[in-house]
Chain A
Amino acid sequence: MAAPKIIVVGGGLAGLAAVIKIAEAGGNVDLFSIVPVKRSHSVCAQGGINAAKNLKGEGDTTWKHFDDTIYGGDFLANQTPVKAMCEAAPGIIDLLDRMGVPFNRTPEGLLDFRRFGGTLYHRTAFAGATTGQQLLYALDEQVRRYESEGHVRKFEGWEFLSAVLDSEGVARGICAMNLRSMEVTTFPADAIIIATGGIGAIFGKSTNSVVCTGSAQAALYQQGAWYANGEFIQVHPTSIPGEDKLRLMSESARGEGGRVWVPRTPGDKRAARSIPESERWYFLEEWYPKYGNLVPRDVATRAIHKVVYEHGLGIDGQPMVYLDLTHIDRATLERKLEGILEIYEKFVGDDPREVPMKIFPGMHYTMGGLWVDFNQMTNIPGIFAAGEAEYQYHGANRLGANSLVSCIFGGFQSGPNAVAYAKSLKAAAGDGGHAQELARQQELNKQLLSSDGTENPFRIWRELGETMTKNVTVIRHNKNILETENKIDEMMERYHRINLSDRSQWANTSFAFTRQLWNMLQISRVVAQGARLRDESRGAHYKPDFPERNDEKFLKTTKASFDAAANAPRFEYEDVDIQHIPPRPRRYDAAS
Chain B
Amino acid sequence: MAEKTIQIEIKRQSGPDAPSTWEKFEVPWKPGMNVISAMMEIAANPVNAEGQQTTPIAYDSNCLEEICGSCAMVINGKARMACSALVDKLEQPIRIQPLTKFPVVRDLAVDRSVLFENLKAVKAWVPVDGTYDLGSGPRVFPQQQEMAYPLSNCISCCCCMEVCPQFNESTGFVGAATIAQVKLFNSHPSGKVLKEERLRALAGDGGVQECGFAQNCVQACPKQLPLTEAISDVTRDVTLQVVKDFLRA
Taking Cβ atoms with an 8 Å cutoff, the residues of A that contact B are: 20-21, 24, 35-36, 38-41, 43-44, 91, 94-95, 97-100, 102-110, 127-128, 130, 133-134, 137-138, 141-142, 144-145, 147-148, 156, 180, 209-211, 242-245, 247-248, 335, 339, 343, 346-349, 412, 456, 458-459, 462, 501-502, 504, 506-510
Contacts and interface: CB of A to CB of B under 8 A. Distances in A.
Contacts of B155: 43, 133
A244 B36 contact: yes
Contacts of A109: 139-142
A459 B67 CA distance: 27
A134 B152 contact: yes
Interface stretch (B93-101, B161-169, B183-191, B196-204): B183-191
Contacts of B86: 347, 349
Given A39-B68, A41-B63, A44-B68, A501 B53 contact: yes
**Most chain B beta-carbon contacts within 10 A, residue among A106, A109, A509:** A509
Given A94-B136, A107-B142, A243-B37, A501 B54 contact: yes
Interface string B111-143: 011001001100111111011011111111110
Contacts, number: 198
Given A458-B44, A502-B56, A507 B124 contact: no
Given A41-B62, A510-B43, A510-B55, A98 B128 contact: yes
Contacts of A145: 123, 125, 127
Interface of B is mostly: loop
Given A141-B124, A346-B84, A412-B131, A98 B64 contact: no
B40 interface: yes
A456 to B, nearest CB: 6
B61 interface: yes
Nearest to B157: A39
Nearest to B55: A502
Among all A-B residue pairs, the 5 with the closest Cβ atoms: A97-B137, A109-B139, A141-B125, A502-B55, A507-B106
B69 interface: yes
Interface of B: 14-15, 30-34, 36-37, 40, 43-46, 53-56, 58-70, 83-84, 86, 105-106, 109, 112-113, 116, 119-120, 123-128, 130-131, 133-142, 144-146, 148-149, 152-153, 155-156, 185, 188, 190-191
B117 to A, nearest CB: 10
B58 A347 contact: no
A531 B203 CA distance: 61
A343 B33 CA distance: 15
A210 B139 contact: no
Contacts of A99: 125-126, 128
A507 B65 contact: no
A458 B43 contact: yes
A209 B62 contact: yes
A38 B156 contact: yes
Given A105-B142, A244-B36, A504 B55 contact: yes
Contacts of B135: 94
Contacts of B70: 35, 39
**Most chain B beta-carbon contacts within 10 A, residue among A24, A100, A105, A141:** A100
A91 B133 contact: yes
Contact of B145 (A103, A348, A506): A103
A346 B64 CA distance: 12
A84 to B, nearest CB: 14
Nearest to B109: A507
